[in-house]
Amino acid sequence: MTTPSVSMWIECFEEDARFEGDGLDALVEQLVAHVRATHDVPYPEDEVRIWARNFAEASVREDGPVGRLPSIGSVEVHPVTEERIDDWLRFFDREAFPDNPDWGACYCLHPHTGEVPERPWRDVRAEMIERLRSGATLGYLAYVDGRPAGWVNASPRSTYAKYSGVDPEGPAPDTVVGVSCFIIAPPYRRHGVSSALLDRVVADGAARGARYVEGYPRRTDTGEDSTSFCGPRSLFDARGFAAAEERDTYIVVRRPV
C-alpha cells in the first residue's frame, strides 16, 4: 500500500501521547513502541498496529467539518437502500468522525459482531456494504439540505451478536427492531437529528413486521459522544419506551410498535 504523503496523527488510547507525521508506517511504529514501553495491554502487538493504522488513516480521510452549526434546516430521513449506499459511504468515510479518528474504522459493524479483534477499516467497510446490499443490516440516514447528517442502525436484534443475550425470556429476537447506534456528524449534533431518526424507526416498525422497538442507552451518560452513541435514556423515555432489563453497562428499553 502506498504511504500517504499528507500529515496525519495518532493519539494513544490512554490519551498520554500523540504522534504526528507524513509517513504512515513510521507513525504506526512510534505508537507501537510507545505502547510497548509504557502500557501493559492485553492486545497482541499486531492488533495494536492495525488499530494505529486505522486511526492514522482516519485522521486524514475524515475531513468533514467539526464545528456545530447554530441552526439547521429540516431533517429528512430515508432507509439505506441500494441507491443510498454511496451517501452512507460518504458519511462514514468523511463526515461521521472528523473530531474522533479513533472511531473512524467502525462503520457500525460492531453491534453485529460483538467484541472481535481489530480489523483493517477497509475490510470492515466492505463487509458493511455487503450487509446493506443483502438486507442483513437495516438502518436510516438523516439528511439536512441534501447532505447526510446522521445514521441509525435499526436492524433486527437477531442480527446483533452484541445483544444476543438480551432478555432471554422476552420477545423473540427476530420480532424486535434493535436501535443499536446513532452516529451524528459534528455540525448537526444536538439539533434533533437523533429524534427524527428514532421517530422514523418507530413509525416503520409495523410495516417491517416487528412487534417491538428496543434501545440500549448507557447506564452512565456523561453527555459526551463516547457515552451517548446509543442514545440518551431521555430520548427513549419521551417516546414511551419502558425499561425491560438492566445490564452491567446499559439498560434495555422497549415499546410496542
User: 117 lies in a domain?
Assistant: yes
Q: CA nearest 214: which of 249, 176, 171?
A: 176
Both 55 and 101 in one domain: the answer is no
Q: Domain containing 40: what range?
A: 8-61
The string of pLDDT tens digits covering residues 32-46 is 999 999 999 999 999
User: 2 lies in a domain?
Assistant: no
Strands 212-215 and 176-184, bridge-based pairing: parallel
Residue 187 near residue 69, CB atoms below 8 Å: yes
Domain boundary among 32, 61, 90: 61
Both 86 and 56 in one domain: the answer is no
> What pLDDT is attached to residue 220?
82
How far is 207 from 256, CA to CA, in rounded Å? 13
User: 66 lies in a domain?
Assistant: no
CA-CA-CA-CA dihedral for 208, 196, 253, 163, to nearest 10 = 60
- Residue ranges of the chain with pLDDT lower than 50? 1-5
Both 26 and 96 in one domain: the answer is no
> What pLDDT is attached to residue 225?
67
Name the maximum alpha-carbon separation found in the chain: 55
> What pLDDT is attached to residue 228?
81
The string of pLDDT tens digits covering residues 147-156 is 999 999 999 9
Residue 32 near residue 52, CB atoms below 8 Å: yes
User: 102 lies in a domain?
Assistant: yes
User: 67 lies in a domain?
Assistant: no
Question: Radius of gyration of the chain from Cα atoms?
Answer: 19
Domain count, the chain: 2
User: 69 lies in a domain?
Assistant: no
